[in-house]
Structure 1
């Protein structure tokens, strides 16, 4: 999971709003709410005419996206908000997955939730509180591949438009450190393990660092490691059967994959460079996990494309820079180009006109393009985005992998599982696996027992 899980964002500077307001003029009053006549927008604001007529209104949005990534999220809709007069009040939380159900059941649902787990979306739909998207959002469906619309649907009914897509099958490293030590980027899993042993033997640093801490979502990076190994060992069919629990966690294939992860990320000789022992992985936040690479304390970190936002300001991210990333190799060379991805989906809990206007805009290629322009480390699920807009090298790698028709692509497994499992017992049990050294057999049995009957 998941997917972000970062610090509360900062407000967009007021001067930006003033500048945009000066560039956009209205030939009639926008009024104070959805019932008013739509103002005619001109200048730089003219492109937002389809969303006009709701000036003076406010919508609330709740998500797991935190600063610094959330800063660019707010910037992506700043012009829209200034021109239409619709204020988008955003709140990010590390406890999003646990707090959203509480708020919804307590009658305090936000207007929008950016949900990174299809399993959590299904749980919210069961409450009867999720509102089906308006016609304008549905009309944008041709901008997404069918599989992405499936992830935003529950029992065949479309509820939530996809927003971001992220590439999870990456390994971050320091090209400068690799060059200095004479290391080459591994092309196979066997090569990667051989390199890990070589680095460990050298004594200059540990080959791997990691962290699975993430507030109430602690444990999700460990689920990614197992998912990568299952997909890269057995391919898409076995992965699909596992995600749907046709193959249980206690199945030898899955416990075997967990053993592969244990030999990799629970190997005392391999981890946790610059931080501590194996157990320190459970107490280190995923945001802080990569810092030892820059300090020369560890060589590699398995994390998604969105981790780009966590590197310190001024870090050069390039093939010859301070950090870069390579595609995590398949465990089994017979599996063709395995790619695990994640994403986020916009679900609404209100059908007020201003809410629908925002929902329509955030499902458009125009918004997706705006988001790409103001952010590195973000890739859109919207196929209407011109790929030339991706100037960051990590974004280019991610966009190519996520759209490669020959790849064995699958969505994050724990995000697809029922929320009680994927965002519940699995996170809890995988945390205990690292923090307490619980056995693979117990971890698997506890997760299987939590599966809804």
Structure 2
């Protein structure tokens, strides 16, 4: 390699100066008004989308740099950071129960001056109690929502075929693996069955910690699920506990697969197993209300389980306030929801925003209908300790259904702990 002469060194030096100047200009342009730290569960392709769809436009508009951290174990990361006294400025979590606990300890800043709960459908935005003596406030902002209580099936499958398939455990596409949160597909099942069999009032009592886990109605929901999916039978259990939840529907693609039904949140319609190969924005699956296929359901009610991603502010800084306000904009809610094959709880986002796909429109109308009773995912609404114990117990029951009484007794012992914060209400219709 030939050594550069003096002129070469001069050119190199000039280039370094130019790079340094450009770098300073870029930093000042993006972060001239400071920075904000943000923790959420989006990583990989979802993180790329979030940066493109939300972070970069925000930085360009406000000149505030967003220091983003994505983790599939965000609850554990946030807990450790909060314990160490160094939490992020903003965290996005799916669990209002977990956030209510942070609020009760004074670790969340109220958002009352930044959002109006009446702008959102129930039950996503509700006031909860803060520290003693400080009253109730809005402590989180819903930025994405999903419809649960849905069973997905290949288009063209008749009602009779669905009913027959629902009675055969091998027809259900079942996957329990989800990293640090493995087991939540099982809790989704049990929660939904209780909602459809016993109704919103009983579901409300249970999700709020006021109903024993050993109650006959709760035990019935577990047994119904076990019968439907073949709990205790190795042919069904072994694949379920070893497969990631987000790949099982791919076995149903194209018809003729071993499983044809999937009990899952509305985001699954865009998964590779159900998405239309020619037009990924359209789905090759359709859905029915789970009550149509769950034995013992009360067909007279119109109750749906729902979920969401909730943004909370742990440090009340001007930069954090700017980002919360930005995330609350209807156009930002719409843009981010669409990129995630999800929906917005913001009433200003019309159902027509979700395009011409009839499946997406049907889900959007259900989520937005004033008469629909929407109940937040119970395990997400429960305290984190209760949620984690529920997920573990559900996996154990799936493998050994004879252990049900023991599992429910353990869960009721967890429920009775005095230190946990429970949400007073998780179901509702209309707004607020």
Task: Report the TM range for the smaller structure's normalisation.
Answer: 0.7 to 0.9
Distance 1:134 1:81, change over 3 A: farther
TM-score (norm 1): 0.76
Distance between the aligned counterparts of 2:371 and 2:104, measured in 1?
35
CA contact (8 A) 1:209 1:301 kept: yes
1:333-344 paired onto structure 2 within 5 Å:
333-344=298-309
Match 2:94 to one of 110, 116, 121 = 116
The residue aligned with 1:237 is: 201
The residue aligned with 2:141 is: 161
Q: Is it true that 1:85 corresponds to 2:63 in the alignment?
A: yes
Cα root mean square deviation, aligned = 3.0
Deviation at 1:427, TM superposition (A): 1.2
Q: Is it true that 1:196 corresponds to 2:166 in the alignment?
A: yes
Deviation at 1:282, TM superposition (A): 2.2
Distance between the aligned counterparts of 2:34 and 2:271, measured in 1?
34
The residue aligned with 1:279 is: 238
The residue aligned with 2:120 is: 144
Q: Is it true that 1:128 corresponds to 2:90 in the alignment?
A: no
The residue aligned with 1:293 is: 252
Distance between the aligned counterparts of 1:393 and 1:90, measured in 2?
35
Distance between the aligned counterparts of 1:379 and 1:339, measured in 2?
15
Task: Determine helix, strand or coil for the equivalent of 1:339.
Answer: strand
Distance between the aligned counterparts of 1:144 and 1:357, measured in 2?
19
The residue aligned with 1:328 is: 290
Q: Identify unmatched segments of 5+ residues in structure 2.
A: 1-24, 419-432
Task: Determine helix, strand or coil for the equivalent of 1:165.
Answer: strand
Distance 1:63 1:31, change over 3 A: closer
CA contact (8 A) 1:174 1:321 kept: no
Deviation digits for residues 188-245 of structure 1 (CA, Å, limit 9, x no counterpart)? xxx8543334x77xxxxx3111112112211111111011111111111111111123
Deviation digits for residues 268-313 of structure 1 (CA, Å, limit 9, x no counterpart)? 78xx9xxx53133222221122221126231111110122343267
Deviation at 1:56, TM superposition (A): 5.3
TM-score (norm 2): 0.79
Match 1:228 to one of 192, 201, 208 = 192
The residue aligned with 1:39 is: none
Task: Determine helix, strand or coil for the equivalent of 1:379.
Answer: coil
Deviation at 1:166, TM superposition (A): 0.8
Distance between the aligned counterparts of 2:162 and 2:111, measured in 1?
45
Distance between the aligned counterparts of 2:260 and 2:153, measured in 1?
6
Q: Tell me the number of residue pairs that the alignment of Structure 1 and Structure 2 aligns.
A: 381
CA contact (8 A) 2:43 2:71 kept: yes
Task: Determine helix, strand or coil for the equivalent of 2:288.
Answer: strand
CA contact (8 A) 1:316 1:322 kept: no
Q: Is it true that 1:174 corresponds to 2:154 in the alignment?
A: yes
Task: Determine helix, strand or coil for the equivalent of 2:126.
Answer: helix
Distance between the aligned counterparts of 1:368 and 1:320, measured in 2?
20
1:53-452 paired onto structure 2 within 5 Å:
55=32, 57-77=34-54, 78-133=56-111, 135=113, 137-138=114-115, 140-145=116-121, 147-150=123-126, 156-175=136-155, 179=156, 183-185=157-159, 192-197=162-167, 206-266=170-230, 277-294=236-253, 296-311=257-272, 315=277, 322-330=284-292, 331=294, 332-373=297-338, 375-391=339-355, 392-422=357-387, 424-437=388-401, 439-451=403-415, 452=417
